Amino acid sequence: MPGLPLDAPRTDALRRAADHIADAWTSFDHARDGQPLLDDALARVLAGGLPEQPTSVLTALDDAAQALDESLAPARPRYFAFVGSSGLEVGVLADALASAYDVNLATHAGVADLVERQALDWVGRFIGFPASGGAFTSGGMISNLTALTAAREMALPAIRDTGYAGRAAALYCSAEAHYSVRRAAEVLGIGAAFVRAVPIDGARRMIAAEAAAAIDRDVADGITPIAVVATAGTTLTGAVDPIAELADVCVPRRVWLHVDGAYGLPAAAAPTTRGLFAGLERADSVVVDAHKWLYLPKACGVVLVRERSALERAFVHDEAYMLHGEDELNAVDRTLEYSRPFRALKLWLAFRVHGAAAFRDAIADNVALARRLADAVRAQPELELVVPEPQLSTVPFRHVPPGIDDLDGHNLALVEALQHDSRVYVSSAEIDGLVCLRPCIVNYRTTAEDVDALIEVTLELGRELAGATRTS
């Protein structure tokens, strides 16, 4: 851009950036011992004020790469915290290309529209959902909000114009559904108080009969059901709600069935876990975060709907600054977002480069590693599973050494010690009042050696903490 030239040839800047990316990829091939501390020189840079004068682009790129290397990277094979992303290499390249062209998916974007449409179709086919439309989003929060906006318009036609006008409405979800469901209720004006937390069974799945009873009670009280949200892989434990049973509840009552599969739904494509998602094809909408268990870099959320017209009813509009040519709708007539980056490119390129079978195999491998982890926990007297039979790739467990009265405090301290040690990285959780470690395996780089290391380091640090507690 005139007036903002680089101080080095473009090719030099590209080579330097490419070198840093290659170094990062190489470092992700194997785990490293510990997390680097903040370098003193970089700390001085980060303490500086607004730069009025330019810095060499090569120096600035070096600083950026160092800052990233000293940050927590979910792409590393021993990052077991939360539900991470793997930063699939071809996805990184796709992001670089997409950023260079800076295509805007708000209105007509030429061939990019066709790529996005094909990528949406591929996701639907991969998981087994008959989608006729959808959109790429920033993630599960916006995807869930998008789908539930469509559900609200279906349940209360013309609400976009009239508002609730004194009418009450409700959402129904598992007691362990993701907070994004409640947040959607807040944003949509339904109200958090009208999110019905449906009881769960021994496998931590929503009880369909309880959902039916909650809907029927609300209808009798004049409250309009908006949607039942089935979770396909809860964030807490990886539980998959009984989608077919919930469809049996929703269909005769004409209630929208939405499946929040931001984490777990890609496992519907793997033979070993496909059965958990029976009935998925009967849902009205589904959500997948491709930056979770399809291994892509953030952000790459996907929302799919059975009937594309449902999104149009919820979002279509006509403004003087964005006309509809020959009655063709713009992308913003089906989405919440206006300026929307070309997120679809990385998923489209990933499926083309690797093929769907490779993704199925990688997901199945992650599930097998989770089962290996569960078996390793069972084999250690000092460890216990909090969820006896993990369904997907989340394996909550805790350290229960003898002679420790406050096991919750011990496990919380253990997680902090593991994070500080950083040979493995895991997050904490509370399940049924018990504080535990909550590892989740969604990285194609993670190996059996990495899972074994999680057990070894946990026992090592846990025993050190327990010994210190007993002698204090």
Interior CA angle at 42 toward 39 and 47, to 5°?
Answer: 120
Domains in the chain (CATH in brackets) are: 103-353 (3.40.640.10), 357-471 (3.90.1150.170)
Amino acid 147: pLDDT: 98
Residue 343 has a CB neighbour count (10 Å cut-off) of 28
SS3 112: helix
SS3 189: coil
| Closest listed residue to residue 336, CA positions, set 157, 137, 159 | 137
Distance of CA 145 to the CA centre of its chain: 14
Residue 1 pLDDT > 80, yes or no?
Answer: no
Separation between Cα atoms, residue 442 and residue 296, nearest integer Å: 11
Strand 285-289 versus strand 256-260 pairing type? parallel
> Is residue 329 scored above 90 in pLDDT?
no
Looking at the predicted structure, is the pLDDT value of residue 326 above 70? no
**Per-residue pLDDT for 155 more than 50?**
yes
Distance CA 135, CA 120 (A): 7
62, pLDDT greater than 50: yes
User: For residue 472, is pLDDT > 80?
Assistant: no
pLDDT at 327 over 70: no
Confidence of residue 324 (pLDDT cuts 50, 70, 90): confident
The predicted-structure confidence for 4-53, as pLDDT tens digits, reads as follows: 899 999 999 999 999 999 999 999 999 999 999 999 999 999 999 999 99
Mean pLDDT over residues 171-186, rounded?
98
Task: List 429's β-bridge partners, or say none.
Answer: 436
Has this prediction a pTM greater than 0.85? yes
Mean pLDDT for 334-348 is 96
pLDDT digits (tens, 9 = 90+) for 407-452: 999 999 999 999 999 999 999 999 999 999 999 999 999 999 999 9
R_g of the chain, CA atoms, integer Å = 24
Average pLDDT in the 293-304 region?
Answer: 98
The yes-or-no verdict on residue 3 having pLDDT over 80 is no
- Nearest to 113, CA basis, from 104, 126, 101, 122: 104
Distance of alpha carbon 239 from alpha carbon 386, whole angstroms: 13
* Two structure tokens written together for 100: 């260079």
